[in-house]
């Protein structure tokens, strides 16, 4: 059974289309999970940063100064008013909700990209498969 160059080309295109579809479907599934449950796909650092009682409020009461005292005197920073534990918890919750919203948006983009890629690969496969399948 001798194959022509066109049949080999069509077979190769079909193989590449299947591989691409497989990869993009996996990425799309991950994006779908991230849209439905963003806490699952949220990265570890962002998730832990917004968990309650991660850091004692005494650490958050004073700003950390990394510059020399001379530079601090020249800049004269505004006085830092320590926040209550309730204010810190409220800000943490608001920031956590923003992080989840951002994660949902990122996963929607991933899902959209994967759908576009699948809708490109699938017609390529169907078109070239006509030339490969046995008659």
pLDDT digits (tens, 9 = 90+) for 109-127: 999 999 999 999 999 999 9
Around 66, how many Cα atoms within 13 Å sit in the side-chain half-sphere? 0
Q: How many domains does the chain have?
A: 1
Show the low-confidence residues of the chain (pLDDT under 50): 56-61
Q: What is the pTM of this model?
A: 0.69
Give the pLDDT of residue 58: 47
Q: Which residue in this structure is represented by tokens 């832990």?
A: 48
CA pair distance 126, 17, nearest whole angstrom:
10
Nearest to 116 by CA among 35, 13, 12, 31: 31
Note down the domain range covering 84: 5-132
> In the predicted model, what is the mean pLDDT of the chain?
83
Question: By the 8 A CB rule, do 101 and 34 touch?
Answer: no
Distance separating alpha carbons of residues 130 and 120, to the nearest angstrom: 17
DSSP 8-state class, residue 54: S
Helices (H), 37-84: 38-41, 44-49, 57-61, 69-75
pLDDT of 2: 72
């Amino acid at each position: 059974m001798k194959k022509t160059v066109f049949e080999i080309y069509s077979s190769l295109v079909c193989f590449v289309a299947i591989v691409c579809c497989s990869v993009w479907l996996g990425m799309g599934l991950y994006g779908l999970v991230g849209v439905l449950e963003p806490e699952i796909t949220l990265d570890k650092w962002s998730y832990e940063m917004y968990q309650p009682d991660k850091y004692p409020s005494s650490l958050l009461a004073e700003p950390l100064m990394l510059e020399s005292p001379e530079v601090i005197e020249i800049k004269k920073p505004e006085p830092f008013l320590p926040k209550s534990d309730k204010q810190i918890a409220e800000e943490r919750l608001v920031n956590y909700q923003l992080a989840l919203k951002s994660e949902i948006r990122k996963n929607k983009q991933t899902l959209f990209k994967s759908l576009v890629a699948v809708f490109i690969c699938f017609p390529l496969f169907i078109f070239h498969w006509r030339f490969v399948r046995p008659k």
